Amino acid sequence: MLVKRAIGSGLCGLLVTCALAALLDAPRLRADQTVQVGPGTVFSPATVTVSPGEAVVWNFNEFHTSTSDTASGPEVWDSGFLLSGTFSHTFTTPGTYPYYCAVHSFPGGTAMNGVVQVVGGGVTPTPTPIPPTTTPQETATPVSSGTPIPALGSSGRMLFALALAAAGLAALFLSGRR
Ligand SMILES: [Cu+2]
């Protein structure tokens, strides 16, 4: 009984470690970015970076616009004149997109201008190698059934991590009941 408990808790620790490693290895996603428009003739921050598929949300604190320098191309937007509220544009194409406030500046100006950088997409980030983990010697593991760790994509890794975490919790629960 004591041995079983020791194996159970050891297994649990190993599974949790594996789950954490897989989670940490999952690519970190950038998030939508919020730009404050005013107060003053300023976009803050003046430069934001997003990944394709993510949005920039301009939060208007005063009467301004957010207007792309270019009126043609993959990313064109114009909030129109806004005194308050938000305007958002979802960026899909990597590139550097300067914009301006039509009230206080002009394309290419410096009075009230900003830049959106869209970086990444389609490019697989270099995976961080996982240090090899020691394989447990005991085989009496009712929860893992000796399934080999498969080569998985990032979403697969996430599912795998969740499954491992669930198995670890199950092992902890079972060992606690004895
Ligand atoms: Cu303005």
Locate the domains of the chain by residue range. 2-27+154-176, 30-118
List the CATH code of the domain at 30-118: 2.60.40.420
Mean pLDDT score of the chain = 76
So what's the pLDDT on residue 166? 72
**C-alpha of residue 63 to centroid of ligand 1, in Å:** 6
CB 133 within 8 A of CB 14: yes
What's the pLDDT tens digit per position in 45-64?
Answer: 999 999 999 999 999 999 99
What's the pLDDT tens digit per position in 70-119?
Answer: 999 999 999 999 999 999 999 999 999 999 999 999 999 999 999 999 99
**C-alpha of residue 101 to centroid of ligand 1, in Å:** 5
What is the 3-state secondary structure of the chain? CHHHHHHHHHHHHHHHHHHHHHHHHCCCCCCCEEEEECCCCCEECCEEEECCCEEEEEEECCCECCEECCCCCCCCCECCCECCEEEEEEECCCEEEEEECCCCCCCCCCCCEEEEEECCCCCCCCCCCCCCCCCCCCCCCCCCCCCCCCCCCHHHHHHHHHHHHHHHHHHHHHHHHC
**C-alpha of residue 82 to centroid of ligand 1, in Å:** 10
Contacts of 103 by beta carbon, 8 Å cutoff, 6+ apart: 63, 64, 65, 81, 112
**C-alpha of residue 69 to centroid of ligand 1, in Å:** 14
CA contacts within 13 A on the Cβ side of 22: 23
Q: Which residue has the higher pLDDT, 156 or 175?
A: 175
The percentage of the chain sitting over the pLDDT mark of 70, rounded to a whole number, equals 53
Please determine, for residue 15, whether its predicted confidence score (pLDDT) is greater than 80. no
If we measure between CA atoms, which residue out of 103, 33, 117 comes closest to residue 65?
Answer: 103
Q: Judge if pTM exceeds 0.85.
A: no
**C-alpha of residue 102 to centroid of ligand 1, in Å:** 6
Q: Residue 86, class by beta-carbon neighbours within 10 Å (0-12 exposed, 13-18 middle, 19+ buried)?
A: middle
**C-alpha of residue 17 to centroid of ligand 1, in Å:** 51
Q: Which residue has the higher pLDDT, 27 or 70?
A: 70
**C-alpha of residue 62 to centroid of ligand 1, in Å:** 8
CB 75 within 8 A of CB 123: no
Please determine, for residue 120, whether its predicted confidence score (pLDDT) is greater than 80. yes
